[in-house]
Amino acid sequence: MKVFKKLLLITALLATSQAKAVVIQCDPNDTYSTPVTGVAFYPNVACSSSGALSVTSSGGGTSAALTDGSGTITAGGTSQQVFAANTTRQYLFIQNLSTGNLYINFGSAASAVSGSILLLPNSSFVMEENTVTNQTVNIFGATTAQAFTAKQK
């Protein structure tokens, strides 16, 4: 249906030392007939004639409290476990709150060498829906006290 092919105009203002803002605008008249910079098609988006945005989830998930694994690197240069293996994990979020690089790995120790995922300062990593690991979640930082946020469901 045409209503499911409405466009979102996304404008992001990003600055390293300023707050981030994202403006999302719905186009109820479907006036974008050719690709426009900053405009993308979203299959589960609908909007009313007044431009009110409606987004529906295709996952059909349920709500639940997140488990918090946030903390700091307890011993610089050593991998530490953030979450134990979890066969029912549905969501994983990790954010680097420190000024140095952090590395994450699943099922084995994290390190600054190949095989671990690099998290630059202030960046984050998310797994959701059908791509969530059930393995242990491990983190590595070169310096003691590097902070991170970690949440799972």
pTM of the model: 0.61
Domain over 67-152 is classified CATH 1.25.40.10: no
Q: How far apart are CA 119 and CA 146, in angstroms?
A: 12
Domain ranges of the chain: 2-55, 67-152
pLDDT tens-digit readout, 67-125 = 999 999 999 999 999 999 999 999 999 999 999 999 999 999 999 988 999 999 999 99
As given in the structure block, the two tokens for residue 141 are 């930082």
Distance CA 72, CA 144 (A): 7
pLDDT digits (tens, 9 = 90+) for 70-86: 999 999 999 999 999 99
In 27-146, beta strands by DSSP E: 39-41, 45-47, 53-55, 67-68, 71-72, 80-83, 91-96, 102-106, 117-119, 124-128, 137-141
pLDDT of residue 64: 79
